[in-house]
Amino acid sequence: MAPNTSPDKSRNAALFERARKLIPGGVNSPVRAFKAVGGTPRFVQRAQGAYFWDADGQRYIDYIGSWGPMILGHGHPAVVEAVQKAVLEGFSYGAPTEREVELAEEIVKLVPSIEMLRLVSSGTEAGMSAIRLARGATGRSKIIKFEGCYHGHADALLVKAGSGLATFGNPTSAGVPPEVVQHTLVLEYNHIAQLEEAFAIHGSSTACLIIEPIAGNMNFVRASVPFMKRCRELCTQHGALLVFDEVMTGFRVALGGAQSVYAKSIPGFQPDMTVMGKVIGGGMPLAAFGGTRAVMEQLAPQGPVYQAGTLSGNPVATACGLATLKEIGKPGFYEDLGHKTQRLISGLQAEADKAGVDFCGDSEGGMFGFFLLKELPQNYAKVMTTDNARFNTLFHGLLDRGIYIAPALYEAGFMSAAHTDADIAETVAAAGDVFKLLSK
């Protein structure tokens, strides 16, 4: 289909208008509405490899990849074949299947801290269940999370920092009663002194600390090694569970997830529980949470903590996940992916430097982030010092040139095995043009 270039006849705009009549904001997940950046969302017609084509037939180099799952690129032949085969055997049974066991065996093999796991259908469901399990396993109610980290939209986790140090959080969403978040403590990411004070006051009644080890929901902010070390030590000291939310980083930053990256700097490092999603489903609705046997055996039907799901371990989704894990487990996969991501970031940096635009970026494996700032921010408040208008100019400048990055400055970016050097060169050249606009 030849691209339609007349904006007033844009099919994207027509579809968006139709969608908004029936679906709140015209989207089934808020970030897709382009509210933070303005303009008309691109309605995807189809995707293949590193690209998607929108309803107007425009092609984009895709650096979102469904917010992480499409690490192989869209439509990888081996994954398509596995899914096609699976659907012919049936869509869903509500009964156990061999593939769920195979997927569990694969994940346990790749993530040593996980001795047992449960499959669910979304990262939110996995995170919510992990919190309930931590509370049930410890008999405690309090949980610690960090400002800028997102763990899905379960009520207890939709919390922003309280008024002062180590005070309990306030809801970030209407419809969440204050009593639901009264046990949720929100601390500043990478703030060791605050973490220590919180444990000194609440340690004995804290069920868990949940953290994004590399925070992709504030673009790309790493937990410092000393900070992560203290999280582990304080959880151990006070009998709280360290829960790694690796929904985004799991199988994305390394085959063993972010925990394998931290284990290189902190000998023997392991969380007590891990929440996973995105890549393990390869784009199908599949997520998981797992941990030590002692904790996981508290889950129904074995233990007293209830958790369930009609489509949990769905046979088509597990086929997609298994085929994806098979490909990413091949030798050299993450080395190649990581080099590509690094080449993108260094190319963008060079263009920004040439144009005299403040820019910094970071990446790990196939996940990256960048900021229109002089230095990498270490917490949410610093991330949000980015000038919105400048980011929006960058976003739309790239979009107009066929480059699709996250429509919000607090979101990360994702490279796939399908992106080529030519795609990266095209992206860097487009950014070079846009940086010139920003340097005026």
End-to-end CA distance of the chain: 37
Q: Residue 282 CB, nearest distance to ligand KE4 (Å)?
A: 13
Q: Shortest gap between Cβ of 317 and ligand KE4 (angstroms)? A: 12
Closer CB to ligand KE4, 51 or 220, in the complex: 220
DSSP assigned state of 67: G
Q: Which residue is nearest to ligand KE4 (CB)?
A: 123
How, if at all, do strands 142-146 and 206-211 pair? parallel
Q: Where does this chain bind ligand KE4 (CB under 6 A)?
A: 29, 31, 67, 122-124, 127, 150-152, 212, 216-217, 245, 247-248, 277, 287, 411
Which strand (E) or helix (H) includes residue 321?
helix 315-328
Angle at 390 between CA 385 and CA 394, to 5 degrees: 125
Q: How far is the CB of 10 from ligand KE4 (least distance, A)?
A: 23
**Which residue, 272 or 411, has its beta carbon nearer to ligand KE4?**
411
Taking residue 302's Cβ as centre, other Cβ atoms within 10 Å add up to 10
* Helix pair angle (77-89, 315-328), 10° resolution: 160
CB of 271 to ligand KE4, least distance (A): 14
- The radius of gyration of the chain's CA atoms, rounded to the nearest angstrom, is 22
> What is the distance between the alpha carbons of residues 116 and 299, in angstroms, rounded to a whole number?
11
Nearer to ligand KE4 by C-beta: 150 or 227? 150
Return the structure tokens found at 351. 């263009």
Q: How far is the CB of 123 from ligand KE4 (least distance, A)?
A: 2
As a whole number of angstroms, the distance between CA 5 and CA 55 comes to 11
Q: What is the dihedral of CA 20, 30, 290, 101, to 10 degrees?
A: 30
Q: Which is nearer to ligand KE4, 188 or 411 (CB)?
A: 411
Please identify, using beta-carbon distances, which residue of 220 and 435 lies nearer to ligand KE4: 220
**Cα–Cα distance, 155 to 173 (Å, whole number):** 8
Residue 414 CB, nearest approach to ligand KE4 (Å): 10
Q: Closer CB to ligand KE4, residue 173 or residue 204?
A: 173
Residue 35 C-beta: closest distance to ligand KE4, Å? 12
- C-beta closer to ligand KE4: residue 195 or 276: 276
Residue number with CB closer to ligand KE4 (283 or 397) = 283
What's the 3-state SS for 127-175? Answer: HHHHHHHHHHHHCCCEEEEECCCCCCCCHHHCEECCCCCCCECEECCCC
Strand partners, 246: 276
Compute the least distance from the CB of residue 175 to ligand KE4, in Å.
17
Secondary structure E strands in 271-314? 273-276, 287-291
Nearer to ligand KE4, 154 or 352 (CB): 154
CA 361, 366, 368: angle at the middle one, nearest 5?
20
The type of residue at 211 is: I
Query: Measuring CA to CA, which residue among 415, 403, 416 is closest to residue 61?
Result: 403
Give me the least distance between CB of 367 and ligand KE4, in Å please.
11
What is the full DSSP assignment across 28-60? SSGGGG-TTT-SPPPPEEEEEBTEEEETT--EE
- Enzyme catalytic residues: 150, 245, 278
**Contact call for residues 371 and 27 (beta carbons, < 8 A):** no
Q: 3-state SS of the chain: helix, strand, coil percent to 5?
A: 45, 20, 40
